[in-house]
């Protein structure tokens, strides 16, 4: 099987960091071309720093990290330090990364990657607000038909919202960008809160990762120690939802997930429901399906995969 070429567009974020580590630990299946950073959980200077810290923790400083859009297309940035801590990566002791930021913008890097590889061979894994992707699609519409797939963490239907009662964070931060991506015609798979809220980093699962007793094992467990607090308090659940790694796990083991091919539209005008993903789960409209919307996952299978893979780093 040929390795799937991916770009990870991200705003790390502890769960983003775990997604990056899972991709790095899976070189047989995934060829990580670049990490492109966007403002989201924390401002851009912090997300690009965090991406470089994660690569250094994994000893993979060969992967280029680009900085992209510092703010959403048409709105001021909303961040989530209340979830991820001041650095975005609170938990382990952090350091100033030594590896340099790649020259040029993330948006140009995405355009260049899609133009320079064969059509249909580059997948965009989006773990944050969709600003960089929408900016690339706006600047170079020719790349849209060259995208193999957008695999996105974002949105919700049954779980509705986590940053407002109606909206999930990644979509809420830049709803206009999300709308551009959903209307683009590129093949899309969505990991909404409906599935990520079933993939919980419970205490025994975190301890299994810590027990790897490696640098990456401790780094990951310490991030998850911090990350779970917020969601356990908020939802009263047994652990924090590991949102973003679902994107990578789906590329590795799609059989762990199930969903429906449906139409998804994004609310961009209402103050009350801004950023809501209106998914036609019950197919009650004649709107054309534009995304595979995932609803369920085998959480034990997911954590088995994650722990086994992290053991390789």
Q: Is 168 in the site for Ca ion (CB under 5 A)?
A: no
169 binds, among ligand BDR, Ca ion, none (CB under 5 to 8 A by kind): ligand BDR
Of 128, 123, 120, the C-alpha closest to 68 is 128
Contacts of Ca ion in 112-151 (CB under 5 A)? 127-128
> What do you get for the CA distance between the two ends of the chain, in Å?
22
90 binds, among Ca ion, ligand BDR, none (CB under 5 to 8 A by kind): none
Contacts of ligand BDR in 17-56 (CB under 6 A)? 41
Is residue 45 annotated as a catalytic residue, yes or no?
A: no
The edge-to-edge listing of strands for the beta sheet with 122-126 is 65-67, 30-37, 4-10, 122-126, 147-153, 188-191, 291-297, 257-262
Residue in 53, 102, 106, 153 binding ligand BDR, rule: CB under 6 A: 153
Structure tokens at 208: 């299994």
Q: Is 13 in the site for Ca ion (CB under 5 A)?
A: yes
Q: Which residues pair with 293 in a beta bridge?
A: 190, 260
Contacts of ligand BDR in 126-145 (CB under 6 A)? 127-128
Site size toward Ca ion, by CB under 5 A: 6
Q: Is 309 in the site for ligand BDR (CB under 6 A)?
A: no
- Whichever of 26 and 162 has its CB closer to ligand BDR, that residue is 162
Which of the residues 117, 197, 243, 261 is marked catalytic?
Answer: 243
Question: What's the rounded Cα separation, in Å, for the pair 49 and 295?
Answer: 33
Q: Is 73 in the site for Ca ion (CB under 5 A)?
A: no
Of 119, 133, 127, the C-alpha closest to 153 is 127
Question: What's the rounded Cα separation, in Å, for the pair 177 and 162?
Answer: 19
Q: Is 149 in the site for ligand BDR (CB under 6 A)?
A: no
Residue in 17, 25, 65, 83 binding ligand BDR, rule: CB under 6 A: 83
Q: Which residues pair with 292 in a beta bridge?
A: 189, 261
- Whichever of 78 and 140 has its CB closer to ligand BDR, that residue is 78
3-state secondary structure of 241: strand
Q: Is 310 in the site for ligand BDR (CB under 6 A)?
A: no
Question: What's the rounded Cα separation, in Å, for the pair 266 and 112?
Answer: 28
Rounded least distance, CB 15 to Ca ion, Å = 6
- Whichever of 13 and 175 has its CB closer to ligand BDR, that residue is 13
- Whichever of 13 and 259 has its CB closer to ligand BDR, that residue is 13
Question: What's the rounded Cα separation, in Å, for the pair 61 and 115?
Answer: 24
168 binds, among ligand BDR, Ca ion, none (CB under 5 to 8 A by kind): ligand BDR
The piece of 12-20, 48-56, 189-197, 218-226 that touches Ca ion (CB under 5 A) is 12-20
- Whichever of 46 and 146 has its CB closer to ligand BDR, that residue is 46
Q: Is 16 in the site for Ca ion (CB under 5 A)?
A: yes
3-state secondary structure of 210: helix
| Residues 6+ away with beta carbon under 8 Å from 202 | 238, 239
**Residue 1 neighbours by CB distance under 10 Å:** 5
- Whichever of 64 and 275 has its CB closer to ligand BDR, that residue is 275
Instruction: Give the CA distances from residue 188 to residues 54, 115, 147, 203, in Å, rounded to whole numbers and listed in that order.
Output: 27, 19, 10, 33
Residues forming the site for ligand BDR (CB under 6 A)? 13, 15-16, 41, 80, 83, 127-128, 153, 162, 168-170, 243-244
State the catalytic residues: 243
């Amino acid at each position: 099987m040929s390795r799937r070429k991916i770009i990870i567009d991200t705003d790390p974020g502890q769960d983003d960091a775990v997604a990056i580590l899972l991709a790095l630990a899976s070189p047989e299946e995934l060829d990580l071309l670049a990490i492109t950073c966007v403002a989201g959980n924390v401002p851009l200077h912090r997300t690009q720093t965090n991406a470089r810290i994660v690569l250094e923790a994994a000893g993979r400083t060969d992967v280029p990290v680009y900085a992209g859009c510092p703010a959403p297309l048409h709105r001021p940035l909303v961040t989530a330090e209340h979830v991820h801590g001041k650095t975005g990566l609170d938990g382990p002791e952090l350091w100033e990364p030594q590896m340099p930021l790649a020259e040029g913008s993330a948006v140009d890097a995405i355009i260049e990657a899609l133009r320079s590889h064969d059509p249909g061979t580059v997948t965009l894994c989006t773990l944050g607000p969709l600003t960089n992707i929408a900016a690339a699609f706006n600047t170079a519409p020719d790349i849209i038909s060259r995208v193999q797939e957008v695999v996105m963490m974002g949105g919700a239907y049954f779980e509705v919202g986590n940053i407002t009662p109606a909206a999930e964070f990644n979509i809420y931060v830049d709803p206009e960008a999300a709308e551009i991506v959903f209307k683009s015609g590129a093949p899309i798979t969505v990991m909404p809160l409906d599935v990520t809220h079933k993939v919980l980093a419970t205490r025994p699962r975190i301890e299994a990762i810590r027990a790897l007793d490696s640098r990456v094992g401790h780094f990951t467990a310490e991030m998850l120690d911090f990350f779970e607090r917020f969601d356990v308090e908020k939802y009263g659940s047994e652990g924090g939802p590991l949102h973003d790694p679902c994107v990578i796990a789906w590329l590795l083991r799609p059989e762990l997930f199930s969903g429906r091919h449906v139409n998804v539209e994004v609310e961009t005008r209402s103050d009350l429901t801004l950023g809501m993903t209106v998914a036609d789960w019950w197919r009650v409209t004649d709107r054309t399906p534009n995304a595979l919307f995932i609803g369920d996952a085998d959480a034990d299978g997911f954590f088995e995969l994650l722990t086994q893979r992290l053991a390789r780093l």
